[in-house]
Amino acid sequence: MSENRWADLARRSSAGVVMVLLGLVAVWFGGFLFHALVALVCLVMVWELVTMMDKHPERSSLVLAAVTGVSVIGAVYLPVGLGLPLLLLPSLAGLGRMERGGVVYAVFTAMIMLAGYGIIALRDDVGLLWMFWLALVVIATDVLGYFAGRMIGGPKFWPRVSPSKTWAGTIAGWVGAAMVGLAFSGLPGAGFGLIGVSVAASMASQIGDIAESAIKRRAGVKDSSSLIPGHGGMMDRFDGMLGAAVFLVIAAQMTGVPPSGF
């Protein structure tokens, strides 16, 4: 086995530990600390998206990032009916400013906003354990996919868009998510159906990852930015959570999982 496969493991692991610790503290305390962290992640992802999609991002990246952060906080603290328009404001504010890929920007930004709002609702309205369930589904998908892909190798999932992803890693991610679902199936209102929901959330996480890879491929960049050592940018790290959270916002209306308040 080539040592190059593991060349980035040390940097990736150390940065990952720091991110996990910061996330755990924010999730544990909840409230404004967690809201502010989610808003920060969302605004950075929009900033990265603009820098990839716009030929002259200096004109709009910081403005649209600021609009994103303020909109997330406003949507959380305003009554639902008044806050919902804010979830689409960054998309519309930037749609006409993009010199290329305006529709892609608008759709992906709307997903970022919906995911951020959904994650906050999950923590505030349903509770700490459900937040940990979703985070562990995404982490298991990513970690098992990473190691299985490098140890097993085999056929590529979509080599034209994401050359490093394999079917072995993809399936390993589903298995990991199923194990997380089984471990949390005792939660009130969950049951063994949570295993299927977890696998579906894992698939949505992988779709989010692939969608971001397609955007990077189109923009001609390897990473969304260089903010996080060993991981690239915020979108590189949270694209999976983005897909899973958007899925959960929709699926919760059909499955009743999480059971209430979401």
Nearest to 222 by CA among 19, 48, 10, 6: 48
Distance CA 193, CA 183 (A): 12
Residue type for 114, please? L
The CA radius of gyration of the chain, in Å to the nearest whole number, is 18
Question: What DSSP character marks residue 228?
Answer: B
pTM, rounded to two decimals: 0.87
Distance CA 207, CA 138 (A): 12
Tokens 């049951």 belong to 191
pLDDT tens for the chain, 262 residues: list them: 444 554 556 666 666 677 778 888 998 999 999 999 999 999 999 999 999 887 677 778 999 999 999 999 999 999 989 999 999 999 999 988 887 788 999 999 999 999 999 999 999 988 899 999 999 999 999 999 988 888 887 788 888 887 788 899 999 999 999 999 999 999 888 889 999 999 999 999 999 999 998 898 888 888 898 887 766 789 988 999 999 999 998 888 887 777 654 4
Nearest to 239 by CA among 220, 253, 225, 255: 225
